[in-house]
Amino acid sequence: MSDAHSHVRCFGRAVLQMRELRHMSRQQLAKKSKIKLAVLTAIEEGTISGGDFGVEEIGKLSEGMGITRYRLMMAYEAKCKEFGEGF
């Protein structure tokens, strides 16, 4: 993968996919995860800086969706491969 922004885009796509599979709105996930809606929106849209979120937010998002961190990171890896942004 060529740059940090590619990682952010793939992660955002993974969060969006996992959220939609659980039939959750952004507002619901933000509330359950205790993450500001604006931050969640920026993550899903791939516009957030990689320095503005990290392991803590990954954990909160995972817990908010009722999945393991591992499951979320596997979705992230799949999105990277899907869009040809392999490791």
> pLDDT tens digits for 35-46?
999 999 999 999
pTM for the full predicted model: 0.89
Give domain status of residue 87, yes or no. Answer: no
d(CA 25, CA 60): 16
Total structural domains within the chain: 1
Mean pLDDT on 67-78: 96
Give domain status of residue 17, yes or no. Answer: yes
H/E segment holding residue 45: helix 37-45
- Identify the domain containing residue 72 by its residue range: 4-82
d(CA 29, CA 52): 18
Give residue 41's pLDDT.
97
Residue 36 DSSP symbol: -
